[in-house]
Amino acid sequence: LTEVAAFLDEKAKRTEQALETHFASWNDAPPLLIEAMRYSLFAPCKRLRPALALGAAEIVAGEEATALPLACAVEMIHTYSLIHDDLPAMDNDDLRRGQPTAHKKYGEAVAILAGDTMLTMAFDMLAQAGNIAVIREVAAAAGVSGMAAGQLMDLQYENQQAPIEILRDIHRRKTGALIRVSVRGGAMLAGANADDLAALTRYGECIGLAFQIADDILDIVGEESRIGKPVGSDVARNKSTYPSLLGIEQARALACETAAEAEEALANFGAEATAFRSLVRYIIDRDQ
Ligand code: IPE
Ligand code: IPE
Ligand code: MG
Ligand code: MG
Ligand code: MG
């Protein structure tokens, strides 16, 4: 796990530097809007999605620079999704990334607008990569076929248990899509061939599902001080989750199976995929 920590840390530093530069270029913004965005974006967290974007580019091309705009964009979109996910109209949570949620700190209106601004400016950042196919895939992954759509379904299946195929679809959309496009987009920007792109896409899909199953489990067995958000939020809102449907043990088994598929997807890569292989275990064994 220390090797994974070093990998995540290195990618986080690169991403945070690029985000700082991007923020510094907006000299026309009301200070409160910038402050509220920075509050959520620069709070301590894992930076998994940027690490996936940069890591995929590194596997394909031996260097990560081409994927830096994508790394920043997916972290901005992810952070916006967290701000809105925590709002009273959605999960109504008070703690995020170890601090009061954006709406607790700044009020709902500012939190909503900080999210809106971050989503919008993520595409400004992504446009710098100059790849229209990637921009369109990120839009789909955040929007109609991905995160926002999945979030709607997540709310529809409060107070009624989603059957397993629907639960899988909810997780694929609300969490899986952005994780998938982080990996896939990073590979595309690095000029991946069709076979490598397909393999890395499969990897992204599997770790995306495993990641959200682990998140569901941590909502029950996690420690607030480690996960940086409330424990028991899903139970309180009677959410459809893997542990609520299958029980914790079977949910863990499914996360393991899915993780094994993710590792298989990397079978045709060599030492260049070592970090991605270690990341699989981290995703299901993490406590934060
Ligand atoms: C939390 O994401 C929300 C989900 C999609 C499960 P992370 O667990 O990646 O949260 P941060 O970015 O580290 O705060
Ligand atoms: C949300 O899933 C996924 C998002 C798109 C934010 P959760 O609602 O389970 O995420 P957490 O547990 O609040 O981080
Ligand atoms: Mg939610
Ligand atoms: Mg939530
Ligand atoms: Mg959760």
Report the C-alpha gap between 240 and 216 in whole angstroms: 9
Rounded distance between C-alpha atoms, residue 42 and residue 55, angstroms: 21
CA of 82 to the centre of ligand 2 (A): 7
Q: Which amino acid is at 149?
A: A
Those residues whose C-beta lies under 8 Å from the C-beta of residue 128, and which sit 6 or more positions away, are 69
pLDDT tens track of the chain, all 288 residues?
689 999 999 999 999 999 999 999 999 999 999 999 999 999 999 999 999 999 999 999 999 999 999 999 999 999 999 999 999 999 999 999 999 999 999 999 999 999 999 999 999 999 999 999 999 999 999 999 999 999 999 999 999 999 999 999 999 999 999 999 999 999 999 999 999 999 999 999 999 999 999 999 999 999 999 999 999 999 999 999 999 999 999 999 999 999 999 999 999 999 999 999 999 999 999 999
pLDDT tens sequence across 126-139: 999 999 999 999 99
The pLDDT value recorded for residue 1 is 66
pLDDT in tens, 101-157: 999 999 999 999 999 999 999 999 999 999 999 999 999 999 999 999 999 999 999
Ligand 2 contacts CB of residue 117 (under 6 A):
no
**Helix ranges restricted to H, 25-163:** 31-41, 48-61, 68-85, 102-106, 108-127, 132-142, 147-156
* Nearest ligand, measured from the Cα of 157: 3
CA–centroid distance, 92 to ligand 4, in Å, is 8
Is residue 229 lining ligand 2, measured as CB closer than 6 Å?
Answer: yes
Ligand 1 binding pocket (C-beta < 6 A) is 45-46, 48, 78, 97, 175, 212, 215
Round to whole Å and give the CA distance between 258 and 172. 13
3-class SS of residue 163? coil
Distance from residue 24's CA to the centre of ligand 1 (Å): 25
